[in-house]
Amino acid sequence: MNYILLIIGFFLLIKGADIFVDGASRISKKLGIPSVIVGLTIVSLGTSAPELAVSIISSLQGNNEIAVGNVLGSNIFNTLMVLGVTLIIMPLIIKKSTIKKDFFINIAVTTLFLLLTFNGILFGKDNYISRFDGLILLAGCILYIAFLIWTVKGSKTNNAKDIAAEMAIENADIEEVNIPKSIIALLIGGIGIVIGGKIVVDSASSIATAWGMSDKLVGLTIVAMGTSLPELVTSAMAALKGEEDMALGNILGSNIFNILLIIGASSIISPILVSSTLVVDFIFLILVTILIAILIFAHKGKEKRLGKLEGILFVALYIGYMSYIIFRN
């Protein structure tokens, strides 16, 4: 029964996030907010809504290991499995100039997360993510959103103009926005996210107890994979539509929001005690991100092609990692 409830919870989470983002986007456009800004903020945050709901509910219930495991597991799943499956479906031609800053920010944010979490090792104390650490991460989230908006507004490249023009055309084709219906969509989506998150946390905890698994392992595996389904679908569809930069950008952006917003909010609600064994998972995430950066930027040209061979490598690395953490449990 717990497995059925888990599937239902994931469905409510993902469908709720989709409805919520659609409602928020329509209201924002009605208010005159540029569609590019909507895409970079509301839609990007929307793909992280399942992780946010699960982690905050976990923190409220005192299951902080699920919160940390969910974010770490989701980021590793995004980096290896989502990108790997996307590459197997469709090779990507990556424009280095487009994603260079996102790669740097992603590695920097993950390293900051590692340092804030395990600074207790240096002082012989427990590894806590304190409320102050959470404030630092949330401040970083606000700065990152401001950076995204500034980048779009200040960009004078043809690429940015093309994206803005395409979105403006799509926006013009949308029928007159019905504010009451959009508000109802917001409410329905929000309720779906909250209820789905509660069901996922409760059923995942029950499964962990039944199988003798730790909340940490459940967060790193079952919950992480389920909450990362929006990223998988988004990146795969972007690749099939020829939006290579969007496919990789979605993964990098989601990883950044997962750390800054989700861990920031969760630790403010309740300081998070983190198991020392997770330092291996942190380092693994940083190393695989650096590996992908090397594969892309070691090439001298302005573009780099990633294909099925790299995709199979990333999926194999994820399977190896999964085997390790299950054995470690």
pLDDT mean over 148-163: 60
On the question of pLDDT at 158 being above 50, the answer is no
Choice among 24-28, 167-171, 178-182 with the minimum mean pLDDT: 167-171
Report the chain's mean pLDDT, rounded to a whole number.
80
On the question of pLDDT at 99 being above 50, the answer is yes
Higher pLDDT, 145 or 159: 145
On the question of pLDDT at 156 being above 50, the answer is no
Q: What is the pLDDT of residue 180?
A: 82
Parse the chain into domains and list their residue ranges. 2-328
Choice among 41-50, 157-166, 189-198, 288-297 with the minimum mean pLDDT: 157-166
Residue range 121-140, pLDDT digits in tens: 665 567 888 899 999 999 99
CA 259 from chain center: how many Å?
A: 8
- Radius of gyration (C-alpha) of the chain in whole angstroms: 19
Which of 297, 301, 244 shows the shortest CA–CA distance to 89?
A: 244
Residue 72 exposed, middle or buried by CB count within 10 Å (0-12, 13-18, 19+): buried
On the question of pLDDT at 42 being above 50, the answer is yes
Q: Which two tokens stand for residue 210?
A: 């039944």
The confidence band for 327, taking pLDDT boundaries of 50, 70 and 90, is: confident
Count of alpha carbons within 13 angstroms of residue 185, beta-carbon side: 18
Instruction: For 31-86, give the DSSP string.
Output: TT--HHHHIIIIIHHHHTHHHHHHHHHHHHTT-HHHHHHHHHHHHHIIIIIIHHHH
Pairing of strands 92-95, 303-306: antiparallel
Question: Which class is 2-328 in CATH?
Answer: mainly alpha
Residues 6+ apart with CB under 8 A from 241: none
Q: Which two tokens stand for residue 202?
A: 């409760």
Q: What is the pLDDT of residue 89?
A: 86
On the question of pLDDT at 320 being above 90, the answer is yes
Other beta carbons within 10 angstroms of residue 271's beta carbon come to 16
Which of 64, 10, 48 shows the shortest CA–CA distance to 257?
A: 48
The confidence band for 298, taking pLDDT boundaries of 50, 70 and 90, is: confident
CA 96 from chain center: how many Å?
A: 21
SS3 300: coil
On the question of pLDDT at 105 being above 70, the answer is yes
Which of 200, 246, 253 shows the shortest CA–CA distance to 225?
A: 200
Contact 145, 41 (CB under 8 A): yes
Choice among 34-38, 301-305, 314-318 with the minimum mean pLDDT: 34-38
Q: What span, in angstroms and rounded, lies between the C-alpha atoms of 57 and 186?
A: 19
On the question of pLDDT at 228 being above 70, the answer is yes
Q: Please report, to the nearest 10 degrees, the dihedral formed by the alpha carbons of residues 319, 105, 234, 65 taken in order.
A: 50
Residue range 52-73, pLDDT digits in tens: 888 888 888 877 777 888 899 9
Contact 208, 214 (CB under 8 A): yes
Higher pLDDT, 16 or 309: 309
Residue 95 bridge partners (DSSP): 303
Q: What span, in angstroms and rounded, lies between the C-alpha atoms of 257 and 268?
A: 16
Output DSSP code: residue 223: I
